[in-house]
Amino acid sequence: MKILNPANGSVVAEVEADTSSSVASAYERARAAQAAWARTPLSERLAAVKRFRALVVARRADLALTLTREMGKPIEQAYNELNALPGRLDFFLAHTADVLAEETVFTQPDGALDEVISQEPLGVVANVSAWNYPWFVGSNVFVPALLTGNAVLYKPSEHATMTGQRIGELFHEAGVPKDVFVTLVGGGDVGAAVVEQPVDGVFFTGSYATGRRIAERVAPRMIRLQLELGGKDPTYVTDDVDAAAAAAGLADGAMYNGGQSCCSVERIYVHRAVEDAFVRAFVDTVKGFKIGDPEDKSTYIGPLARREQLDVLDEQVKDATSKGARLLTGGRRAARPGSYYEPTVLAGATNDMRVMREESFGPIIGIASVGSDEEAVTLMNDSEYGLTAGVYSRDRSRAERVLGRVHAGTVYVNACDRVSPRLPWTGRKHSGMGSTLSTYGIRTFLQPKAWHKKLV
Ligand code: NAD
C-alpha cells in the first residue's frame, strides 16, 4: 500500500497491507493472549500506559512529522494534538481503578446475603478508526480498552497508517504484549475483515455511511457496538455578542485542521441584528489564514487528507450559489500542487443547500441569518446529525435555554470545536451511539457481573 503526501502527491512510504487471513490470525493470537492480560494486575497495565505516555512525549517531534506527512495536518496542529494527548491519558490513568472497583450494593442486616457488582472486560475488541485526529480518537478507544483488560485489534485509517504503526510499536516498547495490541494495516476491506472476526465489541470512528454499514453487519451478533460518526455542527450567534470576537472564535472552529474535525463548526446561524458586523469580521479572519506547506510552522490551512473531498466542496459551492448564497471568499481549489481548497465563506445560506445539510469536512462554511432564538432552535435541529452545537451570547441563561432544546450530545456556550476527557463524547442521531471519554468511556469496555452471595 502506497502512502501519499497530500501536500504534493509524493510517495512517503510503501507498506505491506494486511489480508483477510493475516487479520484472522491476528484475531486468534489476540483471543489467546487476552485472558492473561486481564489477569495482569491493574498496576502493571497502568504502568505500561504510563510508559507509552512517556514515549509519546519523548518522540513527539518525529510523531508530529509523520502525521503531517501522511495526512497533511499543519505541523503546529500535529504538535497541538500530541501535546494534548497526555492530558487525556492522565484522565484514564486516574479513573480506571474506580470504575473497575467491585461494589457491594446490599448486605442483609443478619449478614446472610451480599449483593455485589463486579466488572469484567469485554474480551477482544475491534477498533476501526479515522485519520483526522488519529492520536485522539484512537486513544479514546484503545487506552481505556487496554487498561480495563481487553485485547485490541486496531485498524487505523489508510490515511494515518504510519501513525497507527507507531502507536503499536510504542505500546509494545511500553510493555503491552504484542498480541494484546495489534495494528492492522489497510483500507476499507481490511476494516471489514477486522469487524467480521468473532470479537466481543466493535468501536468505530468514521463516517455515517461506513458506520451504518458496520452496524448492519454487527447487529445480529449482539455484541457491544459503539459508533462515533460525523456531524453538521451548528452555532447560533445571538444579537448581544461582540461580533468580532465571536467571528474570530468561530472562524477557527470552522477551519482548524482544514475543517476536518468531527466537531468543526459546519453551519452558522447569526441574528440579523449583528449579521453584517459578524460576517465582515468572519471574512477578514478567514482571509488572514495562511495556506501553505503543512511542514511550515506558520501554515494554518494545509491540504485536505482526501483528494476526493475537493469534488464534494466544489459541488457544495455550486449548489449553494445556484440557490442564492453569496460567495464572499474562496470557493475553489488553491492554485498549487496537492489537494488544497481555499477557505470559503458562503453568506445568505439556507437549510435547503447541501453546504447546510451534508458534512463538508473542509475549510468551508455556510452562514444563514435568523430573526429569533425560536427560529435558531428550529434550524439547528433541522439536521440528520447531532454531535455538537453552540450558542454565542453574553446572556448565559439565554444560551442555556436555547441549547437545552437542541438535539446534540455536546453543547457549547461561547465556545466551539472543543473536547474534554472529563466529559462524555457522544453523538445523537446519525452522529453515532455510545460514549467515549469520561467515566462512561471507561465503563463501555466492561460488562457487569451481578453476584448474589448467600451463606450456606
Ligand atoms: P470513513 O468512514 O471513510 O473511514 C473510517 C474507517 O473505516 C477507516 O479506517 C476505513 O478504512 C474503514 N472502513 C471503510 N469501509 C469499511 C467497511 N466497509 N467496514 C469496516 N471498515 C471500513 O471515515 P474517515 O474518512 O476516516 O473519517 C472521517 C469521518 O469520521 C467524518 O465523518 C468525521 O466526522 C468522522 N469522525 C467522527 C468522530 C467522532 O468522534 N464522532 C471523530 C473523528 C472523525
The CATH number corresponding to 234-420 among 1.25.40.10, 3.40.309.10, 3.40.50.620, 3.90.1200.10 equals: 3.40.309.10
The structural domains of the chain, with segments of one domain joined by +, span 2-229+431-454, 234-420
Residue of 3, 128, 216, 232 to test ligand 1 pocket, by largest number of atoms within 8 Å of CB: 128
- Domain 2-229+431-454: assigned CATH number: 3.40.605.10
What cell was used for 116? 455485589
pLDDT for residue 314: 98
For the segment 56-77, the average pLDDT, to the nearest whole number, is: 98
* Spatial distance between the Cα atoms of 60 and 82, rounded to a whole number of angstroms: 7
CB 262 near ligand 1, within 6 Å: yes
Query: pLDDT by residue (tens digit) across 275-331?
Result: 999 999 999 999 999 999 999 999 999 999 999 999 999 999 999 999 999 999 999
pLDDT for residue 411: 98
Q: How far is the CA of 131 from the centre of ligand 1 (A)?
A: 8
For the segment 371-382, the average pLDDT, to the nearest whole number, is: 98
Residue 173: band (very low, low, confident or very high) from pLDDT cuts 50, 70, 90? very high
Contact 434, 452 (CB under 8 A): no
* Spatial distance between the Cα atoms of 392 and 235, rounded to a whole number of angstroms: 8
- Placement of cell 507509552 in the chain: 52
Q: How far is the CA of 209 from the centre of ligand 1 (A)?
A: 8
Query: pLDDT by residue (tens digit) across 98-157?
Result: 999 999 999 999 999 999 999 999 999 999 999 999 999 999 999 999 999 999 999 999
pLDDT for residue 211: 98
Residue of 133, 153, 208, 210 to test ligand 1 pocket, by largest number of atoms within 8 Å of CB: 210
Catalytic residue from among 81, 158, 228, 359: 228
Whether 416 sits among the annotated catalytic residues: the reply is no
For residue 140, the surrounding DSSP H or E stretch is: helix 134-147
According to DSSP, the residues that pair with 126 across neighbouring strands are 153, 202
Query: pLDDT by residue (tens digit) across 204-261?
Result: 999 999 999 999 999 999 999 999 999 999 999 999 999 999 999 999 999 999 999 9
Q: How far is the CA of 205 from the centre of ligand 1 (A)?
A: 5
Residue 456: band (very low, low, confident or very high) from pLDDT cuts 50, 70, 90? confident
Ligand 1, atom 23, lies closest to the CA of 206
Catalytic residue from among 262, 275, 342, 416: 262
452, exposed or middle or buried, with CB in 10 Å at 0-12, 13-18, 19+? exposed
Residue 340: band (very low, low, confident or very high) from pLDDT cuts 50, 70, 90? very high
pLDDT of 365 over the 90 cut:
yes
% of the chain beyond a pLDDT of 90: 100
Q: From the alpha carbon of 187, which atom of ligand 1 is closest?
A: 11
Contact 30, 182 (CB under 8 A): yes
Give the alpha-carbon dihedral of 329, 330, 336, 338, to 10 degrees: 140
Q: Where are the beta strands (DSSP E) in 312-414?
A: 326-329, 344-347, 364-370, 385-386, 388-392, 410-413
Q: How far is the CA of 360 from the centre of ligand 1 (A)?
A: 14
CA distance to 133, 292, 391, per residue, from 78 (Å):
9, 15, 28
User: Average pLDDT, whole number, for the chain?
Assistant: 98
Which DSSP string do the residues of 214-233 spell out, in sequence order? HHHHHGGG--EEEEE----E
Give the alpha-carbon dihedral of 78, 202, 87, 77, to 10 degrees: 10
pLDDT for residue 307: 96
Among 91, 107, 79, 148, smallest CA distance to 447 is for 148
